[in-house]
Amino acid sequence: MQLSIVIPCMNEEESIPLLIDRLKGVVEPWKENAEIILVDDGSTDGTWEAIQVAHRKVPQVHGIRLSANRGHQIALTAGLEVAIGERIFMLDADLQDPPEILPEMMLMMDAGYDVVYGRRAVRRGETVFKRTTAFLFYRILNSLSDVAIPNDTGDFRLVSRRALNAVLEMPEQSRFIRGMFAWVGFRQIGLEYVREARTAGVTKYPFRAMLRFATDALTGFSIRPLRFATRLSFLSLFVTLLMAIYVVGSLILFNTAPGWASMVLAVSFFSGIQLLTLGILGEYIGRLYVETKRRPLYFLSEEVGNCENTEIKKESIMKKEVT
């Protein structure tokens, strides 16, 4: 059986040698039937050189390089499109997800599952902020989304060929891959593991990237925020009613000039609601715009390996290369 391991890398020159060392033992049972696909997502450090070195040391390593940085989810997509294995294992380059869990995931897949996802029981070496926002993110996402996306999971998982093919049928630009796998269905199961601290380097998900990732997930898997505007209009109706009573009451009882405070309050309350709902609309319209352009997700600029040293034969994968 053929196995593909897909790893997106952006500025991971220090992690790659450690990663390859750990993976060597893991792929041993598959020998020539395994490929390790490292995707260089427009790195600015020596990541591509590190991938070439890794290929010389371990022939199963197959490197592809994107023409520019496209982000974690698209880099992962590029690797998944290139993979030819019957089972595909995805992990991050920083070894936060232990590759040694693979045999256990394999056993679960033997039992008939199509997706075995890692569930983070403990997260080590991450800030309280990251842990809290991640915790809240999955709960909010699940309360809004129509698809049950398992809590506290990442893209760390083993998937079957048919589950992967189903996901690759989905052409969207804003990709939230763990949600897409949840959406395609089949039999899925979680396996708990301890998420370790990064082995080297720093996180490539600054707050801005996390926010974007979260809005992609929310807008990609729920249209409920759009209905929020309707709900808010009920609230504003109620508040207006209370204000009307107050205004009429004070006019009769105190015979005062109309109050300045209530005016300011009303104006700021309703303009706040309007801005908020406009913003929500904007998030969806912006994504509609990006989707309608139907641009290719990425271009490949370089390749190393393509498994010439392994028994896996494939046609040229440089289909998206621009020459």
What are the residues binding ligand UDP (CB under 6 A)? 8-10, 12, 41, 69, 71-72, 75, 92-94, 96, 203-205
Q: Calculate the alpha carbon distances from 86 to 68, 110, 120, 235, 254 in Å.
A: 29, 12, 25, 53, 80
> Mask 35-74, x = binds Mg ion (CB under 5 A)?
----------------------------------------
**Measured from the CB of residue 93, what is the shortest distance to ligand UDP in angstroms?**
4
The structure tokens listed for 259 are 């109050």
Site size for Mg ion, by CB under 5 A?
3
Pairing, β 3-9 against β 87-90: parallel
Of ligand UDP, Mg ion, none, which one sits near residue 69, judging by CB under 5 to 8 A according to partner kind?
A: ligand UDP
The structure tokens listed for 231 are 């709900």
> Mask 84-123, x = binds Mg ion (CB under 5 A)?
--------x-x-x---------------------------
**Measured from the CB of residue 205, what is the shortest distance to Mg ion in angstroms?**
7
- Looking at this protein, which amino acid is placed at residue 286? G
Of Mg ion, ligand UDP, none, which one sits near residue 75, judging by CB under 5 to 8 A according to partner kind?
A: ligand UDP
Of ligand UDP, Mg ion, none, which one sits near residue 87, judging by CB under 5 to 8 A according to partner kind?
A: none
- Looking at this protein, which amino acid is placed at residue 233? S
Burial group, residue 35, by CB count within 10 angstroms (0-12, 13-18, 19+): buried
Q: How is residue 259 annotated by DSSP? A: P
Q: Which is nearer to ligand UDP, 66 or 218 (CB)?
A: 66
Of ligand UDP, Mg ion, none, which one sits near residue 12, judging by CB under 5 to 8 A according to partner kind?
A: ligand UDP
Q: Which is nearer to ligand UDP, 47 or 310 (CB)?
A: 47
**Partners of 159 in the β-ladder:** 88, 115
**Partners of 122 in the β-ladder:** 194
Q: Which is nearer to Mg ion, 40 or 94 (CB)?
A: 94
Q: Which is nearer to Mg ion, 124 or 231 (CB)?
A: 124
**Measured from the CB of residue 37, what is the shortest distance to ligand UDP in angstroms?**
12
The C-alpha angle with vertex 100 and arms to 96 and 103, in degrees rounded to 5, equals: 135
**Measured from the CB of residue 204, what is the shortest distance to Mg ion in angstroms?**
7
**Measured from the CB of residue 197, what is the shortest distance to Mg ion in angstroms?**
9
Angle between helices 72-82 and 207-221 in degrees, nearest 10: 60
Q: What is the enclosing helix (H) or strand (E) of 313? A: none
**Partners of 117 in the β-ladder:** 157, 190
Of Mg ion, ligand UDP, none, which one sits near residue 205, judging by CB under 5 to 8 A according to partner kind?
A: ligand UDP
Q: Which is nearer to Mg ion, 13 or 92 (CB)?
A: 92
Residue with tokens 């989905």: 170
**Dihedral over alpha carbons 190, 195, 201, 206 (to 10 degrees):** 70
**Measured from the CB of residue 189, what is the shortest distance to Mg ion in angstroms?**
23
Q: How is residue 46 annotated by DSSP? A: S
Q: Which is nearer to ligand UDP, 73 or 310 (CB)?
A: 73
Q: Which is nearer to Mg ion, 10 or 115 (CB)?
A: 10
Q: Which is nearer to ligand UDP, 134 or 280 (CB)?
A: 134
Q: What is the enclosing helix (H) or strand (E) of 195? A: strand 188-195
What's the start-to-end Cα distance of the chain, in Å?
34
**Measured from the CB of residue 51, what is the shortest distance to ligand UDP in angstroms?**
12
The C-alpha angle with vertex 223 and arms to 218 and 225, in degrees rounded to 5, equals: 75
Binding site for Mg ion (CB under 5 A): 92, 94, 96
